[in-house]
Amino acid sequence: MNNQIVLASTSPYRKELLERLGFEFETVAPRIDESTFQETSPDKLVELLAEKKARAVKDKYPDALIIGSDQVAVLDNKIIGKPGSHEAAVQQLSSASGREVIFYTGLCLYNSAEDKARIETETFTVRFRALKKSQIENYLRIEQPYNCAGSFKSEGLGVALFESMTGNDPATLIGLPMIRLIRMLEAEGVSII
Quick one: pLDDT at residue 31?
86
Question: Please, are residues 27 and 69 in contact by the beta-carbon 8 Å criterion?
Answer: no
Span 5-15, average pLDDT:
93
User: Tens of pLDDT along 110-145?
Assistant: 999 999 999 999 999 999 999 999 999 999 999 999
Neighbours of 164 (CB within 10 A): 10
Q: What share of the chain has pLDDT > 70, as a percent?
A: 96
Neighbours of 165 (CB within 10 A): 14
Indicate if the pLDDT at residue 97 is higher than 80. yes
Q: Does 63 participate in catalysis according to the annotation?
A: no
- Domain interval for residue 44: 4-187
Quick one: pLDDT at residue 1?
44
Indicate if the pLDDT at residue 158 is higher than 60. yes
Residue 193 located in a structural domain: no
Mean predicted lDDT score pLDDT of the chain? 92
Q: Which of 63, 70, 76, 115 is catalytic?
A: 70
Give the residues across from 187 on adjacent strands. none
- 7-21, 26-40, 83-97, 173-187: least confidently modelled range: 26-40
Residue 135 located in a structural domain: yes
Q: Total domain count for the chain?
A: 1
Question: 114 phi and psi, to 5 degrees?
Answer: -100, 0
Q: What share of the chain has pLDDT > 90, as a percent?
A: 77
Residue 126 located in a structural domain: yes
Residue 192 located in a structural domain: no
Nearest in space to 103 (alpha carbons), one of 74, 69, 77, 127: 74
For the entire predicted model, the pTM comes to 0.89
Q: Residue 39 — pLDDT band, cuts 50, 70, 90?
A: low
Question: Please, are residues 49 and 34 in contact by the beta-carbon 8 Å criterion?
Answer: yes
Neighbours of 132 (CB within 10 A): 10
Which amino acid would we find at residue 186?
E
Nearest in space to 20 (alpha carbons), one of 170, 189, 187: 170
Question: Please, are residues 93 and 42 in contact by the beta-carbon 8 Å criterion?
Answer: no
Residue 173 located in a structural domain: yes
Alpha helix segments (H runs only) across 22-99? 42-55, 86-96
Quick one: pLDDT at residue 2?
55
What CATH number did the domain enclosing 86 receive?
3.90.950.10
